[in-house]
């Protein structure tokens, strides 16, 4: 195993990823940031210099379990104090499994300012599929308003929703139609700016490609497509999938997939790469890129109109694709057949003292300023509420199909304390929002673990009937999973990684509005915390410069 050393400088720069000029966060001048490339078992060291001048920072390594290094998970308020402007912080962790992972900022809503990128971990053993060339594409959605304006609106009375994104980016490139906003001068919005020329993936005809597709959208669920080409799904969140073929890949924020694509179409032309919003009534135009068959000119537009996306409100194909993702038959890790604890998490939207929130079992998460990991390990009292939130909701009374007042909803920072080395089931239960006949899609991401995806269902999860239908034979392991509108998703995991771990909706504004919980397991087994993660709030006395 090797050591991979990276030195990153994070700062704000003016960029026009979709022709509209705004401040974006860059790493060494780039957004998306540099790809971390390593091999299974390597140690990755990233020295991060915060040059944002007036803004804190933390970087999360999404999908890396941080076994033995829970303090380098990069989750501000949970595992570390923020990196202050002008300071340098060094992350060090082992990438213990091959596959496709992500990194992104994890302080406030700053992920959507552009600080994100890929981690590619090569395997030591051969993989269950073959390909000639390996390429990566990160999908994103893009807002023109700064995260500050968005945060101010979300925390205002009356509530101001962030709205739909202005454009969709394919590997950092999109296109906003500047003429739609005639008040914008060409200094601000200029469609002739080469920065916002479409993303081009050049391919050689007659080859087999592995495409790693990842989503780090702030809000949108996406449908990704390459015109005229089928995709065979072979990897999901770092786990091998029993291969299946799709035309559209539905992908939710925080997920990664590898698909195999053969470049065996008519080679005298180019093809469209498209991403489209699903699950919300789309007003954002499609993200368009070019699948460029060499030696055609990379900028030559395909002679066809881009393929039309699936209906935004049709849940069935999305549910079907979720259900189709199973562990590869040669790589099945069977889950324990029973669990020691079942936690049902009801996802609701509600008003708390006039403010709009998202809540889980009627508690909206507010993160404390003393990171949980430090408070628990160093026995700091008064840092957060030691009473845990509930393990379920009023199952008999609660109507998930109608708008509910949720009058008992509160804000809090209590956490779930899980017994070490036990099996825990989590049921994510979706419900109606505050608008009639409306339920959203929420991609939930668990830090520090992979979980088995035991099942998805419609309506209210019910312990008697639904547990019988769990897939205990070949469930896929993932770290991010959608809960579909008016449905439920059941997960199982082992509490075998000492630390404190966030579990939250990966929609940036939803997490900001409280849609998350925190798990602690095996805190006594956590090794000595590095002093570099301390210095804020109650942890000041523990910080030795």
Residue 212 binding ligand C2O, by CB under 6 A: no
Q: What is the spatial distance between Cα 437 and Cα 401, in angstroms, rounded to a whole number?
A: 7
Residue 478 binding ligand C2O, by CB under 6 A: no
Contact 22, 190 (CB under 8 A): no
Smaller CB separation from ligand C2O, 58 or 375: 58
Of the candidate residues 15, 21, 22, 60, the single one contacting ligand C2O (CB under 6 A): 60
Q: What is the spatial distance between Cα 495 and Cα 428, in angstroms, rounded to a whole number?
A: 18
Among the listed ranges 127-135, 184-192, 408-416, 501-509, the one in contact with ligand C2O (CB under 6 A) is 501-509
Question: CB of residue 297 vs ligand C2O: minimum separation in angstroms?
Answer: 37
Question: CB of residue 66 vs Cu ion: minimum separation in angstroms?
Answer: 24
Residue 506 binding ligand C2O, by CB under 6 A: yes
Residue 487 binding ligand C2O, by CB under 6 A: no
Contact 468, 457 (CB under 8 A): no
Give the Cα-Cα-Cα angle 291, 294, 300 (nearest 5 degrees): 60
Backbone angles phi, psi at 302, to 5 degrees: -60, 150
End-to-end CA distance of the chain: 31
Residue 65 binding ligand C2O, by CB under 6 A: no
505 binds, among Cu ion, ligand C2O, none (CB under 5 to 8 A by kind): Cu ion
Smaller CB separation from Cu ion, 327 or 505: 505
Strand partners, 418: 521
Question: CB of residue 521 vs Cu ion: minimum separation in angstroms?
Answer: 24
Provide the strand spans (E) within 311-384. 341-352, 355-360, 363-365
- What residues contact residue 423 under an 8 Å CB cut-off, 6+ apart? 335, 336, 338, 339, 340, 341, 492, 493, 494, 495
Question: CB of residue 176 vs ligand C2O: minimum separation in angstroms?
Answer: 25
Q: Is 446 left (phi over 0), alpha (psi -120 to 50) or beta?
A: beta
Smaller CB separation from ligand C2O, 237 or 242: 237
Instruction: Dig out the tokens for 374 from the structure.
Output: 């430090």
Question: What b/e string do you get for 69-94 counting C-beta neighbours within 10 Å, with b at 16 or more?
Answer: bbbbbbbbbbbbbbbeeeeebebebb
What part of residues 229-258 is at the interface with ligand C2O (CB under 6 A)? 254
Say if strands 355-360 and 341-352 run parallel, antiparallel, or are unpaired: antiparallel
Question: CB of residue 75 vs Cu ion: minimum separation in angstroms?
Answer: 17
507 binds, among ligand C2O, Cu ion, none (CB under 5 to 8 A by kind): Cu ion
Residue 106 binding ligand C2O, by CB under 6 A: yes
Binders of Cu ion: how many residues, by CB under 5 A?
4
Smaller CB separation from ligand C2O, 239 or 506: 506
60 binds, among Cu ion, ligand C2O, none (CB under 5 to 8 A by kind): ligand C2O
Residue 506 binding Cu ion, by CB under 5 A: no
Instruction: Dig out the tokens for 483 from the structure.
Output: 């809960």
Question: CB of residue 75 vs ligand C2O: minimum separation in angstroms?
Answer: 6
- What residues contact residue 288 under an 8 Å CB cut-off, 6+ apart? 170, 175, 198, 272, 273, 274, 306
Q: What is the DSSP letter of 306?
A: P
Length of the chain: 545
Residue 504 binding ligand C2O, by CB under 6 A: yes
Binders of ligand C2O: how many residues, by CB under 6 A?
11
Of the candidate residues 118, 409, 502, 534, the single one contacting ligand C2O (CB under 6 A): 502
Q: What is the spatial distance between Cα 383 and Cα 369, in angstroms, rounded to a whole number?
A: 8
Question: CB of residue 116 vs ligand C2O: minimum separation in angstroms?
Answer: 9
Provide the strand spans (E) within 133-174. 133-142, 167-170
Residue 502 binding Cu ion, by CB under 5 A: no
Residue 104 binding ligand C2O, by CB under 6 A: yes
510 binds, among Cu ion, ligand C2O, none (CB under 5 to 8 A by kind): Cu ion
Question: CB of residue 64 vs ligand C2O: minimum separation in angstroms?
Answer: 11
Smaller CB separation from ligand C2O, 106 or 175: 106
Question: CB of residue 97 vs Cu ion: minimum separation in angstroms?
Answer: 27
Among the listed ranges 135-143, 236-244, 354-362, 498-506, the one in contact with ligand C2O (CB under 6 A) is 498-506
Total Cβ atoms within 10 A of residue 438? 13
Closest listed residue to residue 421, CA positions, set 339, 488, 481: 339
380 binds, among Cu ion, ligand C2O, none (CB under 5 to 8 A by kind): none
Of the candidate residues 22, 442, 478, 538, the single one contacting Cu ion (CB under 5 A): 442
Question: CB of residue 106 vs ligand C2O: minimum separation in angstroms?
Answer: 6
In the shown chain, the binding pattern of residues 66 to 85 toward ligand C2O, with x for contact by CB under 6 A and - for none, equals ---------x----------
Residue 505 binding Cu ion, by CB under 5 A: yes
- What residues contact residue 255 under an 8 Å CB cut-off, 6+ apart? 214, 215, 236, 237, 443, 478, 480
Question: CB of residue 127 vs ligand C2O: minimum separation in angstroms?
Answer: 24
Question: CB of residue 282 vs Cu ion: minimum separation in angstroms?
Answer: 17
CA distances from 80 to 271, 343, 375, 389, 530 (A): 45, 26, 10, 22, 10
What part of residues 418-447 is at the interface with ligand C2O (CB under 6 A)? 445, 447
Residue 507 binding Cu ion, by CB under 5 A: yes
CA distances from 182 to 173, 179, 188, 332 (A): 22, 5, 11, 56
Question: CB of residue 100 vs ligand C2O: minimum separation in angstroms?
Answer: 13
Provide the strand spans (E) within 325-439. 341-352, 355-360, 363-365, 410-412, 416-418, 423-429
Footprint of Cu ion on this chain (CB under 5 A)?
Answer: 442, 505, 507, 510
Footprint of ligand C2O on this chain (CB under 6 A)?
Answer: 60, 62, 75, 104, 106, 254, 445, 447, 502, 504, 506
């Amino acid at each position: 195993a090797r050591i991979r050393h990276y030195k990153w400088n994070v700062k704000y720069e003016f960029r026009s990823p979709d022709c509209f000029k705004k401040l974006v966060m860059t790493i060494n001048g780039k957004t998306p940031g540099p790809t971390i490339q390593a091999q299974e078992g390597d140690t990755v060291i990233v020295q991060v210099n915060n040059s944002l001048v007036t803004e804190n920072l933390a970087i999360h390594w999404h999908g890396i379990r941080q076994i033995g290094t829970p303090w380098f998970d990069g989750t501000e308020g949970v595992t570390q104090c923020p990196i202050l402007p002008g300071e340098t912080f060094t992350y060090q962790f082992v990438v213990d499994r091959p596959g496709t992972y992500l990194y992104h900022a994890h302080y406030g809503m700053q992920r959507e300012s552009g600080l994100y990128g890929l981690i590619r971990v090569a395997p030591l053993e051969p993989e269950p599929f073959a390909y000639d060339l390996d390429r990566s594409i990160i999908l994103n959605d893009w807002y023109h308003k700064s995260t500050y304006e968005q945060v101010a609106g979300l925390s205002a009375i009356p509530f101001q929703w962030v709205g739909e994104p202005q454009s969709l980016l394919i590997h950092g490139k999109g296109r906003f139609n500047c003429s739609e906003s005639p008040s914008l001068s060409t200094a601000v919005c200029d469609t002739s700016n080469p920065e916002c020329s479409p993303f081009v993936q050049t391919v050689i005809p007659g080859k087999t490609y592995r495409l790693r597709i990842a989503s780090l959208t702030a809000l949108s669920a996406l449908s990704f497509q390459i015109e005229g080409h089928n995709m065979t799904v072979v990897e999901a969140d770092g786990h091998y999938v029993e291969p299946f073929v799709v035309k559209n890949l539905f992908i939710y924020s925080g997920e990664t997939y590898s698909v195999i694509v053969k470049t065996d179409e008519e080679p005298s032309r180019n093809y469209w790469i498209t991403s489209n919003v699903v699950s919300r009534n789309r007003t954002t135009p499609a993200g368009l890129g070019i699948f460029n068959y060499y030696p055609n000119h990379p900028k030559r537009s395909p002679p066809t109109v881009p393929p039309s996306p699936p209906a935004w409100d049709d849940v069935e194909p999305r549910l079907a694709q979720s259900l189709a993702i199973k562990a590869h038959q040669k790589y099945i890790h069977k889950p324990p057949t029973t669990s020691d604890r079942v936690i049902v998490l009801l996802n609701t939207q509600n008003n708390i003292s006039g403010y709009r929130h998202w809540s889980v079992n009627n508690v909206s998460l507010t993160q404390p300023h003393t990171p949980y990991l430090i408070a628990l390990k160093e026995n700091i009292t008064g840092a957060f509420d030691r009473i845990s939130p509930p393990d379920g909701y009023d199952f008999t009374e609660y109507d998930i199909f109608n708008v509910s007042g949720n009058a008992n909803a509160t804000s809090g920072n209590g956490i779930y304390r899980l017994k070490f080395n036990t099996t825990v089931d989590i049921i994510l239960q979706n419900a109606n929002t505050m608008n009639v006949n409306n339920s959203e899609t929420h991609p939930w991401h668990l830090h520090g673990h992979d979980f088995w995806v035991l099942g998805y269902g419609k309506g209210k999860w019910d312990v008697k009937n639904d547990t019988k239908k769990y897939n205990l034979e070949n469930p896929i392991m993932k770290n991010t999973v959608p809960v579909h509108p008016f449905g439920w998703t059941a997960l199982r995991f082992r509490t075998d990684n000492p630390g404190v771990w966030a579990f939250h909706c990966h929609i940036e504004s939803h997490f900001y509005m409280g849609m998350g919980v925190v798990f602690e397991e095996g805190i006594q087994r956590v090794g000595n915390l590095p002093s570099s993660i301390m210095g804020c709030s109650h942890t000041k006395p523990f910080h030795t410069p």
